[in-house]
Amino acid sequence: MQLIGDFHIHGRYAQACSKKTTIEDLERTARIKGMHVLGTGDAQHPKWYEEITSKLTEDDNGILWTKTKFPFIWQTEISLIYTQGGKGRRIHHVVLFPNKLVVDQFIEALLKRGRIDYDGRPIFGMSSIEFIDMLRDISHDIEVIPAHVWTSWFAIFGSKSGFDSVEECFQERAKHIHALETGMSSDPAMNWRISGLDKYNLVSFSDPHSSYPWRLGREATRFEVKELTYKNILQVIRAGDGLKGTIETPPEYGKYHYDGHRSCGVVMKPADSKKANKQCPKCQKEMTIGVEYRVEELADRAVGYKPKNANPYHSLIPLTELISKVYGIKTLSSKKINETYYRLIKQFQTEYSILLEAPAEALQKVIPKQLADLIVQNRTASLTIKPGYDGVYGEVGLSEEKEQPEGQTLHKFF
């Protein structure tokens, strides 16, 4: 069976995340998006753990099921802040667990090192090496996936506190790392430029801070298994057999793609940042150096290099945001956007089927031509996107159109 999974989730107790998220919300949105399995998120947080165990039933294969038969696997994200190689490091890791028994042992081990009740994404002062050792003392079936690996502030390759290789971070424990999460500001093609990453499988998850459809499942991974079990998922992640590719947002859409200084409104391409010596021309402070710059620093291959047998990927802006751009409505939860979104869902069943499969002619029977055209442009990676920088999301640009859909004023960004 071919499945789409999102294994980097957060509940409502993680900082900077929606306080309204519930298991029911996650399931509802996952079904609408067209996903087949989710991570639980924040498995060790006492209150979210209580919600997981009270609303989900674990089977003998490590899969947790809702009453309406939607599957989850145990998952969390942990933040590590430490010093290694004479430099301060701030690294995030996605962690997957085989069952509740192992999660309970993980919680016990964390409590010996600090608190877990203040944030769904708790911070610990241990190195990634110590973290791997702690987890392997519990179970060899726990999987660690370095999260959003290029993000400037909290990632293994991040410009602010990262390393130049997986091996530098984990040293001899690097043999226990099998996959890397591309993150919103990079895609597989960018990672293919670094030959040292060839041995690692590339996965993509959304790291949503709410359960809204423009957050959950905006990035996901396609995989194939004979049966949905934790061990089968683990085998796919570790060996790569069964990985069928990823759903990504365009890297320009991510909040750390280009370099810049948000408070001064300065954004630069890497070539211009180098000329400016990474300094903001307005305040002379160091800019936040983005993902494209870091990839260029570490790349030993030309742009466009593609390894043999590379998995395909789709680069997509969430449907809600496309509707927002066409109608010029910034509030993504607005009534007008919701009406259009669910009209499409009613006709085509899931968001992924709309974004990836629905014919243009069929779309135009349900929505204005300009929106149908934008969906097709999205599908064919021909959108114009103003790149994100220093914590600011990128923006989709619109072409001039003669027709204005349903009397709405078109919103043109640039």
Q: What is the mean pLDDT of residues 365-392?
A: 95
Q: Is the pTM of this model over 0.85?
A: yes
Angle 303-92-315 (CA atoms, 0-180°, nearest 5)?
40
Q: What is the mean pLDDT of residues 92-119?
A: 98
Q: For residue 411, is pLDDT > 60?
A: no
Q: For residue 408, is pLDDT > 80?
A: no
pLDDT tens digits, one per residue of 201-224: 999 999 999 999 999 999 999 999
306 or 400: which leads in pLDDT: 306
Q: For residue 172, is pLDDT > 60?
A: yes
* Closest alpha carbon to 46 in 116, 106, 121, 122: 116
DSSP, collapsed to helix, strand or coil, labels residue 341 as helix
List of residues 6+ apart from 221 with CB closer than 8 A: 4, 5, 6, 7, 203, 204, 205, 243, 245, 246, 247
Q: What is the mean pLDDT of residues 131-157?
A: 97
Report the residue count for the chain.
414
Residue 12 · residue 198 · CB < 8 Å: no
Give pLDDT, residue 406.
Answer: 36
Write out the two tokens for 194. Answer: 């670094």
Confidence class of residue 26 from pLDDT cuts 50, 70 and 90?
very high
Give pLDDT, residue 397.
Answer: 87
Q: What is the mean pLDDT of residues 264-285?
A: 96
Q: For residue 269, is pLDDT > 60?
A: yes
Q: What is the mean pLDDT of residues 114-129?
A: 98
Interhelix angle for 319-327 vs 369-379, to 10°? 140
Write out the two tokens for 248. Answer: 């990504």
Which residue is listed with tokens 């998006």? 33
Q: For residue 186, is pLDDT > 70?
A: yes
Give pLDDT, residue 413.
Answer: 23
Neighbour-count burial of 381, counting CB atoms closer than 10 A to its CB (0-12 exposed, 13-18 middle, 19+ buried): exposed
Q: What's the chain's average pLDDT? A: 95
Task: Give how far Cα 121 sits from Cα of 24, 114, 153, 207, 367, Å.
Answer: 21, 13, 15, 11, 40
Give pLDDT, residue 218.
Answer: 97
Give pLDDT, residue 156.
Answer: 98
DSSP, collapsed to helix, strand or coil, labels residue 205 as coil
Write out the two tokens for 278. Answer: 């990474």
pLDDT tens digits, one per residue of 210-262: 999 999 999 999 999 999 999 999 999 999 999 999 999 999 999 999 999 99
Give pLDDT, residue 399.
Answer: 63
Confidence class of residue 402 from pLDDT cuts 50, 70 and 90?
very low
User: Percent of the chain scored above 70 by pLDDT?
Assistant: 96
User: What DSSP designation does 285 have?
Assistant: P
